[in-house]
Amino acid sequence: MRLRQTGILLITALCFSLVVFGVWRWSYINALDQLERQGSASLSLASDRLVSMLERYRILPVALASDDIFVSALEQGNIGNALTERLQSLADMTGAQHILLADIDGNIVAGSLRFEGETAMPKSVANRPDFIRAMNGALGFYHAQEQETTPRGFMFASAIRNSNGEILGALIINSDLEALEFHWRGDPEIIFFTDQNNVIFVANRDNLILRVLGNPSAQTIRNLYQNRYTGAKLRKLASPQETINFGRVFWDMSDVAGIQGTALLINQPLPVIGMKAHILLDMAPVIALAKSRAILAAVLLALLAMLFWLLQMRRQALADQLVIRKEANARLEQRVLQRTAELSDANLSLRQAQDDLVQAGKLAALGEMSAGISHELNQPLSAIQSFSENAAVLLERGQIAKTKENLGRIAALTGRMSRIIKNLRSFARKEGEVATDVSLCQVVDDTLEIARTSIDTAKVTVNWQRPKQNIMVRGGPVRLQQVLLNLVSNAIDAMEGMVQKTIDIKISRDAGSVLLIVHDSGPGLVTPEKIFDPFYTTKSVNHPQGMGLGLSISYGIVQSFGGNITGKNHPQGGAVFTVRLDAAPHEKMQI
């Protein structure tokens, strides 16, 4: 028994150790992945920042090379104070360290700055790669520290040509890299850029600048020093111990670059400027996080072991609680079902109330238009009576042709009255909830005919841009008429007292939807965000349509068809309402 207990303890301890080690490994890899992603993003950002900073100097020699003063200086030898002042002015405006003008042999004929003694301006750039590349017609670039006491610079050179396209010399822009590095000093990551000689030429840490990576010989360092880097800082970087774990490169940077211990190294080539970007990320947070999670896992496992015994003691009590909870859940489910049924009944009541409110709104609109409707019907009735009396007289006189003409007019007037009554009857009846395929053009035509009296009485000009083809949408014809009639009526009320009264109506397609747009020339919306709130209105209290329910009802109608309605102020004045509806199935195939 004792051996069995000892074996169980050993197996449990082994399992605990494996779990803790697994947590440590997972935490380490997870934190390392996150650190690598953050480092890659920081390196890309720093690389883009360096390239973009140099980019403004890159285009300068190309843009300035066509200046007539440089062409004249190289063709006619007009070297004087004017040329020097011009170069100095350009250097001040662009922020360049200095600007040089070289002839076709590489001799410097003018510059923006002249130093004394050892820091004098170079006499010739004939052997420099940027000048050689410029003489071949391309944009040359080069980086170096020209003098021991001058800042490190990145040069761009562009050929200067005469009117015949012949190369006369080159214009060289030297940017101050130390000024560019000034903005990076506060970055927590260690970022540096090496050239093809493995020399760190740009960095955000002073103790890394002009160090040579790898294991170069002293002679190699002397050659680099003499040929390109004349600064006193050029020296070998203490060779970091490089290891590869989890597919990543690590450097042991003890006492180098301000990092104590191991750092993650990430590289990125920058062929645009002929350099390679590097970033060193301190691994201390990763190690600390993995260690803390492993300790936490060990503590949790110990607590779980303690809780296991307590859980066994409380097993029966929990079983009793589960029975009680099951009964409580059953009662709760019964209450939920009862509450759901009550909510369903309430929703049906609310929907019926909304339908009644919509119907009341339509009847109120018909009541308001009753005077105009009477006029619309009385006018053709009077004309029919007159034409019928004239037809009787003409018939007695035997004027058959004119009699037929009068009868034709009577038929046309009767058709007009029939359409008016038909539209009113359709508008007044209740409509079902199911959406069908509806002709949106016909909805607009019928609505404008219903509102014709109000439009004419208010002396409003309606510009209805009717499409050549009929456009079908999903909705209900009567409810869509009510929405459009509400928008037109609101527009007429808003333009009351104005000189110019116009309403523009058009239909357009947008993806799988159809847009009905109504734009008036009124004063616009005071608070566009509140226009669809119930009982919100800007009309006076005594106004017959001043309850503020029209747009709220219209909003609910359009939503019931799966669409939406928005309102805003038009940039050219007035309010514009857009009703978005789903296109009919065959209409979607054409959109």
pLDDT at 575: 92
pLDDT confidence of residue 206 = 78
Alpha helices for 461-548 (secondary structure H): 477-494
The 3-state secondary structure of 284-295 reads HHHHHHHHHHHH
Total number of residues shown for the chain: 591
Higher pLDDT, 549 or 272: 272
> Is residue 143 within 8 Å of 155, Cβ to Cβ?
yes
538-575 pLDDT, tens digit per residue, is 665 444 454 556 787 788 888 888 899 999 999 988 99
Q: How far is CA 55 from the centre of its chain?
A: 26
What mean pLDDT do residues 8-33 have? 84
Average pLDDT of the chain, as a whole number: 79
When pLDDT is averaged across residues 105-125 and rounded to a whole number, the result is 72
Q: Is the pLDDT of residue 462 over 80?
A: yes
- The whole-number pLDDT of residue 242 equals 67
> Residues 321-340: pLDDT tens digits?
788 888 888 888 888 888 88
Mean pLDDT, rounded, for 236-255: 70
- Confidence (pLDDT) at 499: 87
Report the DSSP pairing between strands 502-510 and 248-252: unpaired
pLDDT tens per residue across span 169-191: 999 998 888 777 777 776 778 88
Model confidence over 469-504: pLDDT tens digits? 889 999 888 788 888 888 988 898 889 888 899 999
Residue 222 has φ and ψ, to the nearest 5°, of -65, -40
pLDDT at 46: 86
**pLDDT number for residue 464:** 94
Q: Is 519 helix (H, G, I), strand (E, B) or coil?
A: strand
Closest CA to 454 of 564, 367, 340: 367
Name the pTM for this structure. 0.47
Q: Lowest mean pLDDT: which of 33-37, 373-377, 414-418, 442-446?
A: 373-377
What is the rounded CA–CA span in Å between residue 83 and residue 78?
8
Whether pLDDT at 267 is above 80 = yes
C-beta contacts of 175-179 below 8 A and 24+ residues apart? 175/53, 175/54, 175/57, 175/95, 175/96, 175/97, 176/95, 176/96, 176/97, 176/151, 176/152, 177/143, 177/151, 177/152, 177/153, 177/201, 177/202, 178/151, 178/152, 179/95, 179/97, 179/151
Q: Can you point out the beta strands (E) in 92-166?
A: 98-103, 108-111, 140-144, 153-161
Three-class secondary structure of residue 469 per DSSP: coil
Structure confidence at residue 373 as a pLDDT band (50, 70, 90)? low
Q: Of 54-63, 228-237, 523-532, which gets the smallest average pLDDT? A: 228-237
Measured CA to CA in angstroms, residue 171 lies from 62, 100, 159 at distances of: 8, 6, 6
Mean pLDDT lowest among 113-127, 283-297, 508-522: 113-127
| pLDDT band per the 50, 70, 90 thresholds, residue 257 | low
